[in-house]
Structure 1
Amino acid sequence: MSGQERSSTAGRLLTGAAWAVLLLGLWLWGREVTDVRPGTSAPTTGDMAAVGRPPEVQLPPARPPLGNAKPQRVDIPAMGVQAPVVARGLDPQGAIDPPPFDQPGVVGWYGAGATPGAAGTALLVGHVDTETRPAVFYRLSTVRPGETVRVVRDDGTVAEFTVDDVQVLQRDHFDARQAYGTRQSGRAELRLITCGGTFDATSRTYTANVIVSAYLTGSGV
């Protein structure tokens, strides 16, 4: 398989298997399977690998959630990303509808869920690549705990999140509650999601999802 064929296949994946996995998480989330027991976000064995949290990283306390406001832009300084955010729903097959492939620098927000900064878990999804080049979340797996994600909202506020977990969850034993469930009740949390792992040429899919978890620690204007 040529590099171009592989890139094309990887891009098409994001409208198929990757978003089907996300749909499972949304189904469980909608059934109020939310809170994840303390400690279960840490890396374990088998189907879950994670960057984890270096012991010297001291994370700030969570701040109370903000009111509801729609996201307009997400800034991830560690990745050099400043990307517009658009609301997305579900496609005719019932999977989340990602941003169009002709907009590889755009991030999708699951508009039926929590808004970033409000109580609950807000979901932001992005392509890892297109047929010809890397896309907005190409370097998502390089983000580390303690780094900052900022979401500019349409009420003029900026919700500032601190990354507390980076996971690569294998698809064979995918735990949707672990991926998308709220880690602590009452917090405003954020998930950034794209494809990861290795590329399987036989099934023409990536073997995992990269999921960055963050929680609200500040706000500004």
Structure 2
Amino acid sequence: MSSEGSSSGSGRLMTGVAWAVLLLGLWLWGRQITEGPEGSSGPKTGDVAAVGRPLGVSLPPAHDPLAGERPERVQIPSVGINAPVVPRGLDAHGAVDPPPFEAPDEVGWFGGGARPGAAGPALLVGHVDTNTRKAVFYGLSAVRPGEKVRVTGSDGSVSEFTIDDVQVFQRSHFNAKKVYGERVHGRAELRLITCGGSFDRTTRAYSANVVVSAYLTGVPRG
């Protein structure tokens, strides 16, 4: 989300602060991310606002986990997202280093976690905007359960995921386990994360994070 009337410098600061909160949550979650905690499905209250599943939307069964490949591209046809994926590591503070502001059309994959298609939650993060324009995940909050996410691996293979959950986590009640933990034990999952909520001109930060969850449902051929 962009803020009207912000200067070129303040827009960048605004986005950076929002990312700092997001990454702090990942840092606190730390080593448990690859181990997979117990699923966190169930009613969400207080700190989470769920978009939910529209009535009449049936979701396909999960596909067995794959070996998983290093991701190179992610596509969400329903909202026109088609972007390169780059691996990101940890910065000097022990948090995942997001894509640089100079590359707002790139999606970052946390290389220290699961690979898309493998068992566990694979994390993809992207900016919502920059100081001058919309960024790669600007339209992420518009996706809905039942829609597809396709990830192309380094070997050319495509893994297809089905979105089953869209939530908005308030920064003031950020729960790393709910955001980064696996939802169903042993399932191949995907988590796509960006900034969301309202923009606070005092703190120069967004109030929340949009978190889209999906799970592996197919491996298209050709």
Q: Same fold (TM over 0.5)?
A: yes
Residue in 2 aligned with 1:65?
A: 65
Residue in 1 aligned with 2:52?
A: 52
What is the rounded CA distance, in whole Å, between the counterparts of 2:106 and 2:86 in structure 1?
7
Q: Does 1:84 align with 2:88?
A: no
Native 8 Å contact 1:179 1:211 kept in 2: yes
Task: Report the identity percentage.
Answer: 59
- Structure 1 position 36, deviation (Å): 2.2
Q: TM-score by structure 2 length?
A: 0.90
What is the rounded CA distance, in whole Å, between the counterparts of 1:58 and 1:48 in structure 2?
23
1:37–1:81 distance in 2 versus 1, CA, 3 Å: closer
Native 8 Å contact 1:29 1:180 kept in 2: no
What is the rounded CA distance, in whole Å, between the counterparts of 1:115 and 1:211 in structure 2?
18
Residue in 2 aligned with 1:177?
A: 177
- Structure 1 position 16, deviation (Å): 3.6
Residue in 2 aligned with 1:205?
A: 205
Residue in 2 aligned with 1:187?
A: 187
- Structure 1 position 24, deviation (Å): 2.2
Native 8 Å contact 1:25 1:177 kept in 2: no
Residue in 1 aligned with 2:143?
A: 143
- Structure 1 position 53, deviation (Å): 0.8
What is the rounded CA distance, in whole Å, between the counterparts of 1:212 and 1:192 in structure 2?
5
Q: Does 1:35 align with 2:53?
A: no
Native 8 Å contact 1:4 1:132 kept in 2: no
What is the rounded CA distance, in whole Å, between the counterparts of 2:8 and 2:52 in structure 1?
28
Give the counterpart letter for 2:188 in structure 1.
A
Native 8 Å contact 2:161 2:216 kept in 1: yes
Give deviations 1:74-122, integer Å, cap 9, x for gaps: 0010111110000001111222111111211110000111001111100
Native 8 Å contact 1:34 1:180 kept in 2: no
- Structure 1 position 46, deviation (Å): 2.2
Q: What secondary structure does 1:97 align onto?
A: coil
What is the rounded CA distance, in whole Å, between the counterparts of 1:144 and 1:33 in structure 2?
25
- Structure 1 position 33, deviation (Å): 6.0
Q: What secondary structure does 1:132 align onto?
A: coil
Residue in 1 aligned with 2:132?
A: 132
Give the counterpart letter for 1:70 in structure 2.
R
1:220–1:7 distance in 2 versus 1, CA, 3 Å: farther
| Structure 1 residue ranges without an equivalent (≥5) | none
Q: What secondary structure does 1:63 align onto?
A: coil
- Structure 1 position 215, deviation (Å): 0.2
Q: TM-score by structure 1 length?
A: 0.91
Q: Does 1:18 align with 2:15?
A: no
Give deviations 1:118-159, integer Å, cap 9, x for gaps: 111000000100111000000110000000000000122101
